[in-house]
A and B are shown apart, each in its own frame.
Chain A
Amino acid sequence: GQNIDQPTEMTATEGAIVQINCTYQTSGFNGLFWYQQHAGEAPTFLSYNVLDGLEEKGRFSSFLSRSKGYSYLLLKELQMKDSASYLCAVMDSNYQLIWGAGTKLIIKP
């Protein structure tokens, strides 16, 4: 079967750095997406990785290792508004997104 694993919840301090990991086992691979979802709101796109390596976009970076079935989202200079759930999703061989359950990130002052 297809599986996406990410931690259920993480806590970090304002101004610090946090890394949210995602491991996956899917039927084929056509890229990995990270979305941010604030409580009661829609998921919003953060990043897309299809090749190995690190993609940096402002305070957010996303890393992919296809051989290890592993990705992480790195958030720097954390702000209170970064408190949200972060969803990892893999596009499989049928170009369908397989979603993780999300990691709830709690930022403390």
Chain B
Amino acid sequence: EAGVVQSPRYKIIEKKQPVAFWCNPISGHNTLYWYRQNLGQGPELLIRYENEEAVDDSQLPKDRFSAERLKGVDSTLKIQPAELGDSAVYLCASSPGQSDTDTQYFGPGTRLTVL
């Protein structure tokens, strides 16, 4: 069974430029998460989807970040415009959505460097 797929794996942009990340969750997983992880820290939740509905976006910086999950499968996370402090690894995770305590399975992440 394929795991969570993310692209690109690496992205280098200049500040003020836009950037987008794509995630394809494990087949059949209804819940999808976007996290941001800085070096030497644990992941920080940005947004959680149940199917196509964003059920927790309280920690998403909405002035520059946006996300969508059309048709309740793939998802994209966008930053516009990017700032130097946005440099981090952006992780996507999915879980079956059958229980609130389901295990989350992570993709390889996108390492973003903003110059």
Whether A45 contacts B103 by the Cβ 8 Å rule is yes
Instruction: State the main secondary structure of chain B at its contact with A.
Output: loop
Residue numbers in A under 8 Å from B105 (CB-CB): 45
Q: For the complex, what is the distance from the CA of A43 to the CA of B4, rounded to whole Å? A: 12
Q: B92 — nearest CB in chain A belongs to which residue?
A: A42
Whether A102 contacts B101 by the Cβ 8 Å rule is no
Q: Does A25 contact B (CB under 8 A)?
A: no
**Contact A102/B41 with A30-B101, A95-B101 known, Cβ cut-off 8 Å:** yes
Q: Does A96 contact B (CB under 8 A)?
A: yes
Interface residues of B in 98-115 (CB under 8 A from A): 100-101, 103-109, 111
**Contact A42/B107 with A30-B101, A91-B101, A95-B100 known, Cβ cut-off 8 Å:** yes
Interface residues of A in 85-109 (CB under 8 A from B): 87, 89, 91, 94-97, 99-102
Selecting from B11-19, B42-50, B68-76, the interface stretch reads B42-50
Q: For the complex, what is the distance from the CA of A96 to the CA of B57, rounded to whole Å? A: 12
Whether B42 contacts A31 by the Cβ 8 Å rule is no
Whether B56 contacts A102 by the Cβ 8 Å rule is no
Q: B20 CB to closest chain A CB, in angstroms?
A: 19
Q: B23 CB to closest chain A CB, in angstroms?
A: 12
Residue numbers in A under 8 Å from B82 (CB-CB): none
Whether A97 contacts B40 by the Cβ 8 Å rule is no
Q: For the complex, what is the distance from the CA of A44 to the CA of B103, rounded to whole Å? A: 10
Whether B45 contacts A41 by the Cβ 8 Å rule is no
Interface residues of B in 21-59 (CB under 8 A from A): 40-45, 48, 56
